[in-house]
Amino acid sequence: MAPHPSARQSLGSRGNIRSFILPHRYARSSFEYEQARVTAIIPTYKPENLTVKLVEDLVEWNPTLRIIVVDDCTPEEYIASALFIRMGSVSDRVTVLRTPVNKMKAAALNYALAYIFANEEVPDVILSLDDDIVVAPSTVRNLVVELMSYQHLGAVCSQCRVLNKNNNMLTRLQGLEYVGFNATRLADEGFYRGPLVMHGMLTAFRVAALKEVQGFADGHLIEDYEITTRLKDLGWSVKLALNAPAWTVVPDTFSKLWRQRARWSYGGITVITKTKYFSSVLQDLIGHSVFFATVGMIALMALFRGDDRIPIEIARLVIALSFLQLLLWYSFQLWLMRLYKEKDARDWIIRISMVPEFIYTNILTLVVVGSYFFLTFNVLTRRLRRSGNVVARRCVAIGAVVFSFCGYMESWGTRGN
């Protein structure tokens, strides 16, 4: 049952100044998990045994949960038919669908939504899951209860953790990074309708909200961010459920990580350029603004170095503020370790030494810079193609190859890591 519009739009679709300064608090109502009809959707492409394990665990720990596995047109030559048969035979509550062509994740989710609304009793909650995650016995229950206990919520995401964090230095750095992701989502609760992104690895959606936004945006690079902004635009709030953990497999090589973050970064920029209300992407706007302001300040200081037009006191103030920011960031990172349940001595060494995370962060900054260049390239490309100039078209083709080699492209498959 959908809440009355006033119950979820009390802040207005665009938010207000108060919601930027003070978190908005809503009354929590009592809700039992057994009251809700819940369906889980798992889009998959070239699944592995971890996907089968996920289906088995969901069935075992959630006696009334219905599960739809969407095979996003896995190639016939890929030996996966036995896995789909195993998943379908786990329970009569599991349905396996196959898309006619590879649709990418958002369209695969919509394919399942169309099936649900046409062939089944419409549920109250729909879960969207990645096919390579591990959940705890209480994860789904806690997600659903958290979502349905507040009338204003359109979606609630799980706490994200790293399953393979002990593989190498790169996965350990991502494990530490994900602790920050969770902390940021917790801190954003109540501010401008909640966290920036309801991540795709595991999020519970209120069906009334999903219907109102008309599902996911087909072909979008990061459908989770895109649908979160549309939920907020329509007055729904979102949040993280702290007691609902899920573990995901992160990239364990530099090339895979780069491609994943290129998709996230460029996809995020395209969301910002298309959103209706900037309050829905406020956190990202602040982040990009700070980045450009920092680059601009460095450029000005380099340009006027030794020039009397910039008083030495201002330069010293900028340096002092930079050191203060570093000190505050470092102290906060150490404090966050209390939330990292999987930490060990090596993780402490990485965090205390600061050097690996400093290098890692600057590499990810390069990914963002590349996304700005790729956005500029795509804007110019559309203009050059209209010109009909042969030389211009050849330059565009060469540029597309270069960006593709660097991991930037307009579309990724179902698994875009």
Encode pLDDT of 310-334 as tens digits.
Answer: 667 776 787 788 788 889 988 999 9
Has residue 242 got a pLDDT over 80?
yes
At residue 31, what is the residue type?
F
Distances 405 to 148, 170, 410 between C-alpha atoms, Å: 45, 21, 13
State mean pLDDT over 265-281.
87
Q: Are 112 and 68 in contact (CB under 8 A)?
A: yes
State mean pLDDT over 269-284.
86
Q: What is the pLDDT of residue 224?
A: 93
Q: Are 164 and 250 in contact (CB under 8 A)?
A: yes
Q: What is the pLDDT of residue 159?
A: 94
DSSP state of 274: H
Superfamily of domain 32-252: Spore Coat Polysaccharide Biosynthesis Protein SpsA; Chain A (3.90.550.10)
What values do phi and psi take at 354, rounded to 5?
Answer: 75, -25
Q: What is the pLDDT of residue 201?
A: 94
Q: How far apart are CA 165 and CA 172, in angstroms?
A: 5
pLDDT in tens, 349-374: 999 999 999 999 999 999 999 999 99
Mean pLDDT over the full length of the chain: 86
DSSP string, 31-70: --GGGS-EEEEEEESS--HHHHHHHHHHHHH-TT-EEEEE
Work out the number of other CB atoms within 10 angstroms of the CB of residue 56.
Answer: 15
State mean pLDDT over 223-235.
93
Has residue 265 got a pLDDT over 50?
yes
Look at residues 405, 158, 381, 379 and name the one whose alpha carbon lies nearest to residue 269: 379
pLDDT in tens, 81-126: 889 999 999 999 999 999 998 888 999 999 999 999 998 689 999 9
Q: How far apart are CA 387 and CA 393, in angstroms?
A: 9
Q: What is the pLDDT of residue 12?
A: 44
Q: What is the pLDDT of residue 299?
A: 77
Q: What is the pLDDT of residue 21?
A: 67
Q: What is the pLDDT of residue 226?
A: 93
pLDDT in tens, 17-38: 566 666 777 788 888 898 999 9
Q: How far apart are CA 348 and CA 337, in angstroms?
A: 8
pLDDT in tens, 53-92: 999 999 999 999 999 999 998 887 777 788 999 999 999 9
Least confident of 269-283, 293-307, 367-381: 293-307
Q: What is the pLDDT of residue 413?
A: 45
Q: What is the pLDDT of residue 7?
A: 47
Least confident of 2-16, 67-81, 328-342, 387-401: 2-16
Burial group, residue 35, by CB count within 10 angstroms (0-12, 13-18, 19+): exposed
Q: What is the pLDDT of residue 14?
A: 47
pLDDT band at 4 (very low <50, low <70, confident <90, very high): very low
Instruction: Determine what percent of the chain is predicted with pLDDT higher than 90.
Output: 55
Look at residues 368, 236, 252, 119 and name the one whose alpha carbon lies nearest to residue 227: 236
Q: What is the pLDDT of residue 388?
A: 67
- pTM for the model stands at 0.88
Q: What is the pLDDT of residue 308?
A: 62
Of residues 158 and 383, which shows the higher confidence score? Answer: 158
Q: What is the pLDDT of residue 307?
A: 59
